[in-house]
Amino acid sequence: MTEERWPGVELSAKEFYEKVTTVRFRPEAKFAWSAGEAMSRFLAELQRGRLIARTCDACKRTLFPPRMFCEECFRPTDAWTYVKDTGTIETFSISYLDLDAKRIKDPIYVGVVSVDGASPKMGLMHFFGGVTPETIRIGMRVKAVWKPPEEREGSVLDIRHWRPLREEER
Ligand SMILES: [Zn+2]
């Protein structure tokens, strides 16, 4: 006697790849993440339109963005203090690629701003606006352009960008 058909279910290559080697499911992924004491306060203050730092009594530095531990003194920092929303461009890049690496006509300006009131070498990475490739320069005095309060969400992007400081603001 010969078998007309083998037992089991025949699958095409398409069915094999779609039904056997692939599993479709929607994960119920939930997570919670604590930003920590210093970063949580920093983000909450951003939503209120303020920049906050931590001071260290031992080295007399003002640490910004704030941290609860002084990496130079190996001890906890001591107090909260506000710093200004003005500063100086430490370094910058002019990018003709957007975040998806697509070419763009009008460039994006990104870089590090050292904020007034914080100690040297305390930089905040951010965007610059109101500048051109010809006008932006290291050492340029800048001021934060805040989103309106109702649009802020406790993010570093509650500041849209940093624009050149006007003569009357100096
Ligand atoms: Zn210190």
pLDDT of residue 72: 95
pLDDT of residue 95: 95
pLDDT of residue 1: 63
Distance from Cα 68 to the centre of ligand 1, integer Å:
10
Q: How many CB atoms lie within 10 A of CB 84?
A: 13
3-state helix, strand, coil in the chain (%, to 5): 15, 35, 50
Distance from Cα 58 to the centre of ligand 1, integer Å:
5
Which residues of the chain register pLDDT less than 50? Answer: none
Instruction: Pull the structure tokens for residue 3.
Output: 């078998």
Distance from Cα 158 to the centre of ligand 1, integer Å:
29
pLDDT of residue 131: 97
Distance from Cα 88 to the centre of ligand 1, integer Å:
23
Distance from Cα 36 to the centre of ligand 1, integer Å:
19
Query: Tokens 């010969």 sit at which residue?
Result: 2
What span, in angstroms and rounded, lies between the C-alpha atoms of 84 and 100?
33
